[in-house]
Amino acid sequence: MKNMRITEGQLRRIIREELLHEGAMNPRAAARGGIELRVKKRENFIEISALTSSGRRVGFLSSTESDDPCSGAWQIDGAESKINGLGPLLYDLMIDLIHPRPLMSDRAEVTPDARRVWDYYLDRRSDIESMQLDDLRNTLTPVEDDNCEQLSAQIWSDDSFGDEDSWPDSSLSKAYRRRDGGTPVLDELQELGIISFT
C-alpha cells in the first residue's frame, strides 16, 4: 500500500462518513482512512494494534486462551479504541485470527462499549453464531467442557435485569464464532495490504 499522509482531522472526517453509511468501520474504510493493522501472534496470545499512517496507535485488542475449559474459547483481555467504529472491526478480525476457536468477553470486567459489541453479535449478526457457556458450578449442563467464569455476565445481568441469576440471558455468557467458518475480514485486510504479522 502507498504511504499515505493525511491529517488526523481528515482521518476523522473519512471515518465519520463511513460510519454514516456502514455503522461500523469495515476493512475498506480502514484502508481509505490510512489505518494499518499489526498483529502480534504467539501460541496463546494475540494482540492487534491499529495505527495511523504516521504510526500513532489509535486502537488495540488483545486475547488469550482461557484457563477454564470454556468450550475452547479465547477471551478478550484488553481493548481500546480512539476512533468510533474501529472496535467492532478489531473484534471481527480477532474472531478470524483465532478461527475455528470461539471468542468471548473478559470474564471479570466489561466496559459499556464492549458490552454493546457483544450484544450486537448476539442480536444482530446472522453471520456469527453464539455458544452458551456454563458457569463453574455446572448450573446449565452436567459436562465440564463448557464451564467458564461468568462474573461479568452476572454483574451486567444484575445491573440490567436486577437479577444476577439471569446471567445465561446475557451476551457476555456466550462465546462467538463465524457461522460459515470463513475468515472474511482477515482475507479482505490481506487483499488490501493493510495487515502485517510479527
pLDDT digits (tens, 9 = 90+) for 108-158: 999 998 999 999 999 999 999 999 999 999 999 999 999 999 999 999 887
What is the 3 state secondary structure string of 22-79?
Answer: HCCCCHHHHHHCCCEEEEEEECCEEEEEEECCCCCEEEEEEEEECCCCHHHCEEEEEE
Q: Where are the domains of the chain?
A: 8-197
Q: How confident is the model at residue 20 (pLDDT cuts 50, 70, 90)?
A: very low
CB-based contacts of 95, cutoff 8 Å, min separation 6? 103, 128, 176, 177, 178, 185
Separation CA 101–CA 66 (nearest Å): 11
pLDDT at 18: 44
Dihedral angle of Cα 117, 66, 127, 141, to the nearest 10 degrees: -110
> Hunting for cell 482461557 — which residue is that?
66
Q: Say which residue the cell 444476577 belongs to.
A: 164
Sheet holding 74-81, edge to edge: 128-132, 174-178, 103-104, 74-81, 57-65, 45-51, 36-42, 195-197
Q: Is pLDDT larger for residue 37 or for residue 1?
A: 37
Model pLDDT, residue 165: 80
Report pLDDT for 17: 44
Positive or negative CA dihedral for 14, 20, 22, 24?
A: positive
Helix axes 184-192, 86-97, angle to 10 degrees: 110
Q: What is the mean pLDDT of the chain?
A: 89
**Looking at residue 145, what is its pLDDT?**
97
State pLDDT tens for residues 39-60: 999 999 999 999 999 999 999 9
Rounded to 5 degrees, what angle do the CA atoms 191, 21, 105 make? 70
